[in-house]
A and B are shown apart, each in its own frame.
Chain A
Amino acid sequence: MADSLNGKAAITGIGETEYSRGADKSAIGLMLEASLKAIVDAGLKPNDIDGVIPYSLGPVGEEIMTGLNLTDVRFSAQTPMGGASPVAALQCAAAVIAAGVCKNVLVVLGRRGSSDSRVANRIAAMPQFRQISEFENPIGAIAPAQLYAPMATRHMALYGTNEDQFAEVAVAMRNHALLNDNAVMKKPLTVEDHHASRMISTPFRLFDCCLESDGGTAVIVSGADRAKDTRAPVTLLGVAEGHPDSPSTITQRPDLMTLGLAKAAPRAFEMAGVTHADIDVAQIYDCFTYMVICELEDLGFCKKGEGGAFIEGGRIRLGGELPVNTHGGLLSQAHIAGMNHIYELVRQLRGEGGRAQVEGAEIGLVTGYGDLGDGSVAIMQKAA
């Protein structure tokens, strides 16, 4: 594949702030702090950054350039796909690097999701939700929990997916968060705790829903030739984004249970030249417990309808066959819209996962899911 992005770019630096429910910094402050950490981690200076891709909601590229005093940025863009944005930004960054436009691209997200505007208000302002705003908000379908829940309802009705399986996802994420010093949730969670938690929008209970968090995360994507000189580069083997049919509404989708990820995943695996059995660790966008089950199906780890059984028996826990969200995920570490998932995958593949390190992890995968079914996926490997 002459036009493949395999091996053209690597993540050379990662940075994160403290994740919390009450940051003492503004969103741009969180972005700049995380960005500087990532730049230093990559062994670069701020002005080595010549491309900027901020999250599509919040402070824009110009403010990052002003804040870091970047004087030679040649490319800036956004990838407005909600939680699929950060991983989609990796594809964007790799593409502009492969094209020779940039050498080091900063991908960054900072937010006060706990302290400032909450999710139901945030998405109402997003242009991606225009049709939802006109046709579904007026009758009471407003928050992601309400918009996404019908996917889970149908999955349960058709395939027998059940609350115990949702609870297993929640408990696995919590167990992993307990091993992470930068996780918001610090108390153990049991299946009983999950089942006793209050209903948000059926079938989603409180502990099926992700956190709302303050924090910032950044990564630096560099050309593979330059990456060789950095401390611990992680190579992008395959990366892709995919959009579901009817991407602007879930309701009008022919099959409610198939996400854009189902289109992206085969492209990413083919580009990477690896199989599912090669994946040592996976960071799966977990805005709701059900989404982990659905994404594992759309990734091809199991067939549609088999995701509930797939995650049983400790398979996605540390020590299992496919450890998922070794940082605790959006459910129990923090909701940094999946930038924290990219950070964690790089940490794992560097062998710097601390108490949550997956032994011998060499190849891993990270997904994004966002807006009304957009998907993104990246497959990475520690550089030789």
Chain B
Amino acid sequence: MSEPYLKPLPETSIDSLPYWEGLKDRRVMLQRCSDCGVVRHYPRPMCGECHSMETDWIEATGKGALYSWTVAHHPFHIGFKAELPYILATVDLEEGVRIQSQLLDVDPADLKLGLKVEVVFGQARDDLVLPYFRAVE
């Protein structure tokens, strides 16, 4: 019998479904405005630059650089208690948007702005894959 999944689940919407479906295929999908080409994240229905509602989806390279971080120590949520402490990383993706996730297998003492990272995928549940990051040499 599997352990119950205690972490918060994403409440997906019609705007974000391709992002979550993409993760199941181990791809980070980003919205790109069909009219002006600006990439945006988190998923939302309108381009902030030209206000078009026509959207394509592109696959991100998954490579990026550390913009900021925090190392979580306090158990605010029972679902994450077992993995404390963990690094919450704010990552600038190559496509020009940011993503917030955990940075795995890095000593907090080695954290610095601009640290090169790349995405790895974690099978959280049968129906949920989440993006994480690892440092790259």
Q: A138-B130, A140-B88 are in contact. Are A154 and B74 (CB under 8 A)?
A: no
Question: Looking at the complex, which of A128-136, A213-221, A300-308 is the stretch in contact with chain B?
Answer: A128-136
> Is the C-beta of A31 less than 8 angstroms from some C-beta in chain B?
no
Whether the Cβ atoms of A153 and B68 lie closer than 8 Å is yes
Whether the Cβ atoms of B41 and A252 lie closer than 8 Å is yes
A158 to B114, CA, bound (A): 12
Whether the Cβ atoms of B10 and A251 lie closer than 8 Å is no
Whether the Cβ atoms of A140 and B7 lie closer than 8 Å is yes
Whether the Cβ atoms of A145 and B74 lie closer than 8 Å is yes
**Among candidates A138, A157, A201, residue contacting B8 with C-beta atoms closer than 8 Å:** A138
The digit string for A130-162, where 1 denotes a CB below 8 A from any CB of B, is: 010111111111110110011101100110000
Minimum distance in angstroms from A335 CB to a CB of chain B: 16
Minimum distance in angstroms from A212 CB to a CB of chain B: 12
Minimum distance in angstroms from B127 CB to a CB of chain A: 12
Q: A137-B8, A252-B41 are in contact. Are A201 and B71 (CB under 8 A)?
A: yes
Q: A133-B11, A139-B132 are in contact. Are A256 and B67 (CB under 8 A)?
A: yes
A198 to B85, CA, bound (A): 13
Kindly state the interface size class of chain B when it binds its partner: 35 or more
> Is the C-beta of B46 less than 8 angstroms from some C-beta in chain A?
no
Complex interface: chain A residues within 8 A of B72 (CB): 140, 146, 201
Minimum distance in angstroms from A207 CB to a CB of chain B: 13
A203 to B68, CA, bound (A): 12
B85 to A, closest residue via Cβ: A199
> Is the C-beta of A200 less than 8 angstroms from some C-beta in chain B?
yes
**Among candidates A135, A145, A150, A158, residue contacting B76 with C-beta atoms closer than 8 Å:** A145
Whether the Cβ atoms of B100 and A139 lie closer than 8 Å is yes
Minimum distance in angstroms from A294 CB to a CB of chain B: 13
**Among candidates A146, A157, A204, residue contacting B88 with C-beta atoms closer than 8 Å:** A146
Complex interface: chain B residues within 8 A of A136 (CB): 100
**Among candidates B7, B69, B85, residue contacting A150 with C-beta atoms closer than 8 Å:** B69
Q: A133-B11, A134-B11 are in contact. Are A143 and B98 (CB under 8 A)?
A: no
**Among candidates A141, A145, A158, A202, residue contacting B100 with C-beta atoms closer than 8 Å:** A141
Q: A138-B7, A138-B9, A150-B68 are in contact. Are A252 and B73 (CB under 8 A)?
A: no
> Is the C-beta of B113 less than 8 angstroms from some C-beta in chain A?
yes
A146 to B108, CA, bound (A): 15
B128 to A, closest residue via Cβ: A138
A contacts with B, residue count (CB < 8 A): 34
A269 to B98, CA, bound (A): 34
Complex interface: chain A residues within 8 A of B128 (CB): 138
Complex interface: chain A residues within 8 A of B71 (CB): 199, 201-202
Whether the Cβ atoms of B67 and A154 lie closer than 8 Å is yes
> Is the C-beta of B36 less than 8 angstroms from some C-beta in chain A?
no
A149 to B108, CA, bound (A): 15
Complex interface: chain A residues within 8 A of B130 (CB): 138-139
**Among candidates B11, B12, B41, B113, residue contacting A157 with C-beta atoms closer than 8 Å:** B113
Q: A120-B76, A133-B8 are in contact. Are A140 and B68 (CB under 8 A)?
A: no
Minimum distance in angstroms from A297 CB to a CB of chain B: 17
> Is the C-beta of A249 less than 8 angstroms from some C-beta in chain B?
yes
Whether the Cβ atoms of A149 and B70 lie closer than 8 Å is yes
Minimum distance in angstroms from B77 CB to a CB of chain A: 5
A120 to B9, CA, bound (A): 15
The digit string for B14-45, where 1 denotes a CB below 8 A from any CB of A, is: 00100000000000000000000000011000
B71 to A, closest residue via Cβ: A202
**Among candidates A139, A153, A157, A201, residue contacting B74 with C-beta atoms closer than 8 Å:** A201
Which positions 78-109 of chain B face chain A at CB distance < 8 Å? Answer: 80, 83, 85-86, 88, 90, 97-102, 108
Minimum distance in angstroms from A371 CB to a CB of chain B: 16
B8 to A, closest residue via Cβ: A137
A149 to B, closest residue via Cβ: B70
Whether the Cβ atoms of B101 and A143 lie closer than 8 Å is no
Minimum distance in angstroms from A158 CB to a CB of chain B: 8
Complex interface: chain B residues within 8 A of A199 (CB): 71, 73-74, 85
B80 to A, closest residue via Cβ: A140
Complex interface: chain A residues within 8 A of B51 (CB): none
Known: A142-B77, A199-B85. 7 other contacts (CB 8 A): A120-B77, A138-B7, A140-B102, A145-B74, A158-B113, A201-B88, A202-B73
8 CB contacts below 8 A, A to B, read: A134-B16, A135-B42, A138-B7, A198-B73, A199-B85, A202-B73, A251-B90, A251-B100
Which residues of B come within 8 Å of A, CB atoms?
7-13, 16, 41-42, 67-74, 76-77, 80, 83, 85-86, 88, 90, 97-102, 108, 112-113, 124, 128, 130-132
